[in-house]
Structure 1
């Protein structure tokens, strides 16, 4: 039986994924400072090339600021449909060869190779897989190989661009020790600055801070940080097909054919679970719509979509599915919406053509929903459910995303 200490975990990460896809589409962009995002002054940078990063540019930076730092940068609008297709292409390559894998984001994967050393040699096998992906997809990809997910991810970051790095069992703390504290996942700019103000600049120093002191500084996050600094991570590789889906359905008090009501329900349910997606920092790549007619016949239809968690994008797709699915013109008893093929990510990557105001709007909406409940703020639709004419409907619903 394989124990946690005996595990072998590979972390694969497609280098500058959106940028690499754009360079593959137009090789004249290779080696140049490239920004992927909206072209207006008020848009944001969704991704940038290594050449652009040398000017201090980073993702989520206002496009206007990025172009001020690098006036000669090339801007390309994002193509989430193409990026999603490329992501699925890489996923199929990994799925066809890996014994167990987790798709943790649109461009990152964890593979559990525990026990493979007895047959192939994990490093040899992983190197061969990386070469195969590069050859077949034409995209650069890096990997880290270690005893847990944390170390393999940090190793991948150190191996970039387009490289590989193995950290042998027992050498985890030695590998982490000289790295800056910001190299540890979950240590962002604010946490890093807080640690540096206290004289903690390297992972080695962080690992030596008493856990009780870190807890006093940062609460429960301090305990998690201490564990990471000491290379401890027992989290399992979660098989991709077991990734949680998010769904909701509604059985109506009375069967109905009222299109206005049905569309309003679609809006309500889509907004509800889209908010759950953003709460979990996830994107969906597949939507399933379910209808049950008055004669109890149940039908479903699904479609793959560019990865997203944005209300206005998902609503458009849900309504498109409903239009294709509802063809019997019978009374409807139940309707359901499900998001699956979930990966980690946030709404910024699907808003290439939107301005800062759109991202700020989503953040403001989610802050209100977090405080008062998801149903407090929704797309403007005042409807009364069939059979409930006496129902009082909230009048403080704010219309948005017209």
Structure 2
């Protein structure tokens, strides 16, 4: 029996732009930016035509427009992208037993063991054709023996292509690529490697492990393995059953909206921090309200995959308005985030500005370091306003 792994990385090419082009074919062939407003926003996604000008995602929109003044800026519609992502997920779900969704437009699938019956590359090619036929969206994939090499193969196959890196061919495939193409290899690590004259992955393959461990400590082994295409990380299956929740029972029933909102906001913050810590995203929100006679109302709402509280909190407040009549005293209140998928908090496309992205990164790094809930927003303050005012709890 073969123990060779067959891992496929699938990526929908400039996904948001492709979805918009389906609705408006006039955008085809033009430099398109999707994201926030020109003054404070960031680019969430851009077309290949825009990339030629040096534009990339997470770049401030105003900077992008300096590079390409004739670019078309679109604010984007969350619902469209969620719907397109759901269609693609459904096609994969029906065809493939083991897959992992890592963001709205990215998947890993594991075809290990299928080679006894079918050609895994053919399965992946057929799947790609089906997705393109059924959704009208361009898509690329890379196939290799590990997640890292498969992802790098996809990047080489783009736009709208596919690439197989055969078993045993990993080092040869990686050698000519620049070291900056290695996923998760930060800018400062690359800079340090450049100082030693290491620019291509091939240069890195010639370096001894001991040298890398001396320069980078524990990360040395990680870098050495990545340069050789060694990556044992597993495909974590996508599951719709998982959820996280939090409840609060009051000593005395509460009928004050502000108090209920403050408790809900605090619970939502903790849950969304947990999601980010575990690399999870939620696509369904629910609020539970229980009255003194134990009558319970639960309301839920589908949302685009996220772990960002500035999206979750307004959604939760809105559900509270609908679930609670505003007069009856409440005995228990709860929040549930469900339909979880594995994936990192992606810069939220339309509302995010540079300050907010930096704030999330800062809050999370402090909380990871010093324990949960070291930093949070000022409780009870109106969340969803532009300005965050995080403060340290002593």
Which of the five TM-score ranges fits, normalised by the shorter chain?
Answer: 0.7 to 0.9
Aligned length: 383
1:342 aligns to 2:341 (yes or no)? yes
Change (3 A) 1:243 1:144: farther
The corresponding residue for 1:393 is none
Q: Distance in 2 between matches of 1:68 and 1:20?
A: 23
Change (3 A) 1:354 1:334: closer
1:311-350 → structure 2 map (5 Å cutoff)? 311-326=309-324, 329=328, 331-350=330-349
Q: Distance in 1 between matches of 2:246 and 2:211?
A: 43
1:102-251 → structure 2 map (5 Å cutoff)? 102-241=100-239, 245-251=243-249
Determine helix, strand or coil for the equivalent of 1:43.
Answer: coil
What's the offset of the Cα at 1:226?
Answer: 1.3
Determine helix, strand or coil for the equivalent of 2:269.
Answer: helix
What's the offset of the Cα at 1:90?
Answer: 0.5
Give 5+ residue unaligned stretches, structure 1.
383-396
1:291·1:336 contact (CA, 8 Å) conserved in 2? no
1:101 aligns to 2:94 (yes or no)? no
Q: Distance in 1 between matches of 2:74 and 2:212?
A: 43
What's the offset of the Cα at 1:189?
Answer: 3.0
1:44 aligns to 2:11 (yes or no)? no
Change (3 A) 1:216 1:38: same
1:248·1:338 contact (CA, 8 Å) conserved in 2? no
What's the offset of the Cα at 1:347?
Answer: 4.8
2:31·2:71 contact (CA, 8 Å) conserved in 1? yes
Q: TM-score, normalised by structure 2?
A: 0.88
Q: TM-score, normalised by structure 1?
A: 0.86
Q: Distance in 1 between matches of 2:40 and 2:256?
A: 41
1:43·1:63 contact (CA, 8 Å) conserved in 2? yes
Q: Deviations over 1:274-309 (max 9, x none)?
A: 233344554322223344554556654432102233
Determine helix, strand or coil for the equivalent of 1:338.
Answer: strand
The corresponding residue for 1:266 is 264
Give 5+ residue unaligned stretches, structure 2.
382-387
2:100·2:342 contact (CA, 8 Å) conserved in 1? no
Q: Distance in 2 between matches of 1:347 and 1:323?
A: 28
What's the offset of the Cα at 1:363?
Answer: 4.2
Q: Distance in 2 between matches of 1:8 and 1:253?
A: 56
2:98·2:109 contact (CA, 8 Å) conserved in 1? yes
Change (3 A) 1:210 1:242: farther
Cα RMSD, aligned residues only: 2.7
1:32 aligns to 2:33 (yes or no)? no
What's the offset of the Cα at 1:161?
Answer: 0.6
